[in-house]
Amino acid sequence: MPEQSKTWIDETTLKVMTYKSGFFTFQLGFEHTQVQAMLNRVNDSQKRFNKTPSLPLIIDQVQDKVLASSIYSTNTIEGGQFTEQETANILKQDPKTIQKSEERRLTNLKESIEWIKKSSSKQLKPVEGKPFELSTMFQLHTLVSQNLEEQHNPAGQLRNNQPTQKTIVGNDSHGGTYRPPKCIEDIEYLIQAWIEWLNSPNVINQPAIIRAGLAHYYFELIHPFWDGNGRTGRLIEMFILEQSGYRFSSSAIWKYYQTNIHEYFALFNQCRKLADKKEDNPNQLFIEFILNGMFETIEYLHDESNKLIGYLLYQTALNNAKFRKEISDRQFNLIHNVMRVMSESNKFLSKAELYRIPQIQILYDRKTERTFYRDIDKLVELKFLSEQDGLVVMGN
């Protein structure tokens, strides 16, 4: 049996010899010049997003939406069956009242994210990395796995396959399968080497997005736990991003992974095979995938925040119009009912369709239908509503 050993090939490449799993190489594996332009775009977008007005209503709504979306996505990647709305509803419940393991997985993820948020940086620091502690990895796996009816996956305990036990990662439909290291001696040694590499001087100050992505990538290749490796790996990535000030995008990117799940899974195998063949820059495609995902994610966060800011301005103008008696109480209530109906039905309606809505009919008890049409026309005139192709829409 070969001796375990570690050799630094250069300032950013650590080659590890294991007992039973052969060689394992930690490397950057990408060409900086080919990703710098997109990296700059991502950081510029995040910098602008971090300047979004810190109004509680905006921050709270963005946070709630990102939380539900992120947990839905990371859970779905691992085979979860809840819809995004069902996920949001479960997250609003008291965790103490939840009995089913399927639901507890969601509240465990929420607790994990809240724990990570305690280490968040308010300032964007794209290249000022902080050491990643081994205890953080164990803590995240424990939070993810706690109180689940999974006897085969003790929380925070490393995997140690017996001769008859097989661990196979991936499947043929997502780029093929992979057998990670099996014996605990190799897993422990590789995890220690992973930490050493991740915190080494020339890796810790790599762009945070790249360091976080590679931390996730190599963690999944080691696959140190019996279960929960995917969720834990994405949380590790989130932790490193949060330390560097990537607010909300740190977990919101999971939706991009879930939407592009085939490419996400396939790249783990593709990059691993390129490294086995000793190809140059074997991690290039994975890094580019993450950067594209971060940019798309942050742009989406901009759009959502702008919608909320627009809504706040709209509400302020509406309240001012009521205060100045430019609109009546009935017209004020009408527009809120119109907003509610459109939100629930997720479509625009004609005047006639709106008039038949029971909540709106109540406002016009003992009033003529003509009064309703006059109220709509007044709100259109003041540009609180507008008409497009015979349908009533919000604003002008």
201: tokens are 């001087």
Same domain? For 265 and 229 the reply is yes
Indicate whether 164 and 267 sit together in one domain: yes
For residue 1, pLDDT over 90 is answered with no
The answer as to whether 318 is a domain residue is: no
Q: What is the CATH number of the domain that holds 32?
A: 1.10.3290.10
The token duo for 18 is 């294991």
Whether residue 338 sits in one domain with residue 277: no
What pLDDT sits at residue 148?
Answer: 87
Residue 228 known to bind ligand = yes
Over 90: is that where the pLDDT of 18 sits?
yes
Give the tens place of pLDDT for each residue, 283-295.
999 999 999 999 9
Q: How many domains does the chain have?
A: 2
What are 184-241's pLDDT values in tens digits?
999 999 999 999 999 999 999 999 999 999 999 999 999 999 999 999 999 999 999 9
pLDDT, mean of residues 114-125: 92
Q: What is the pLDDT of residue 32?
A: 97
Is 87 among the domain residues? yes
Q: In terms of domains, do 269 and 354 share one? A: no
Domain match, 149 and 225 both: yes
Task: Say whether both 283 and 345 belong to one domain.
Answer: no
Q: Angle 177-181-182 (CA atoms, 0-180°, nearest 5)?
A: 105
The pair phi, psi for residue 171, each rounded to 5°, is -155, 170
105 is an annotated ligand-binding site residue = no
Q: Is 227 known to sit in a ligand binding site?
A: yes
Do residues 396 and 383 make contact, with C-beta atoms less than 8 angstroms apart? yes
Highest mean pLDDT among 121-125, 241-245, 388-392: 241-245
Q: Both 63 and 180 in a single domain?
A: yes
- DSSP letter assigned to residue 173: G
pLDDT (0 to 100) of residue 155: 87
Domain at 348, CATH number? 1.10.10
Say if CB 209 and CB 128 are below 8 A apart. no
Does 141 share its domain with 252? Answer: yes
Query: What's the mean pLDDT in 306-310?
Result: 89
**Are 130 and 258 members of one domain?**
yes
Compute the distance between CA of residue 339 and CA of residue 318 in angstroms, rounded to an integer. Answer: 12
The pLDDT assigned to 257 comes to 98
56: pLDDT strictly greater than 80: no
Q: Spell 95-116 as b/e; 16+ CB within 10 A means b.
A: eeebeeeebbbbbbbbebbeeb
- CA-CA distance, 386 to 207, in Å (whole number)? 47
Does residue 374 lie in a domain region?
yes
Instruction: For residues 21-42, give the mean pLDDT.
Output: 97
DSSP, residue by residue, 66-133: HHHHHHHHHHHHTT----HHHHHHHHTS-GGG---HHHHHHHHHHHHHHHHHTT--SS--TT---PPP
pLDDT at residue 374 is higher than 70:
yes
234 in a known ligand binding site = yes
Q: Is 231 annotated as a binding residue?
A: yes
Last residue of a domain, one of 253, 271, 304: 304
Of 240, 272, 304, the domain-final residue? 304
* DSSP H/E element including 23: strand 23-26
Q: Are residue 229 and residue 369 in the same domain, yes or no?
A: no
pLDDT of residue 396: 58
Residue 76, annotated as binding a ligand = no
Averaged pLDDT, 3-30: 95
Render pLDDT for 239-278 as a digit per residue (tens, 0 to 9): 999 999 999 999 999 999 999 999 999 999 999 999 999 9
**Would 310 be classed as within a structural domain?**
no
pLDDT band at 44 (very low <50, low <70, confident <90, very high): very high
Same domain, 365 and 275: no
Query: Burial level of 61, CB count in 10 A (0-12/13-18/19+)?
Result: middle
Q: Which domain holds residue 342?
A: 327-394
Domain boundary among 248, 271, 304: 304
**Tens digit of each residue's pLDDT (9 = 90 or more) over 152-191:** 888 888 998 887 788 888 877 777 888 899 999 999 999 9
Q: Is residue 361 part of a domain?
A: yes
80 is in an annotated binding site: no
In-domain check, residue 118: yes
Q: How far is CA 37 from the centre of its chain?
A: 23
| 312 is a domain residue | no
Could you tell me if residue 315 is inside a domain?
no
**pLDDT classification of 96: cutoffs 50, 70, 90:** confident
pLDDT at 151 > cutoff 70: no
Question: Which residues are identified as catalytic?
Answer: 223
DSSP 260-324: THHHHHHHHHHHHHHHHTT-SSTTHHHHHHHHHHHHHHHHHHHHHHHHHHHHHHHHHHHHHHHHT
The residue among 143, 81, 145 whose CA lies nearest residue 113 is 143
386 in the same domain as 266: no
What's the one-letter identity of residue 206? Answer: Q
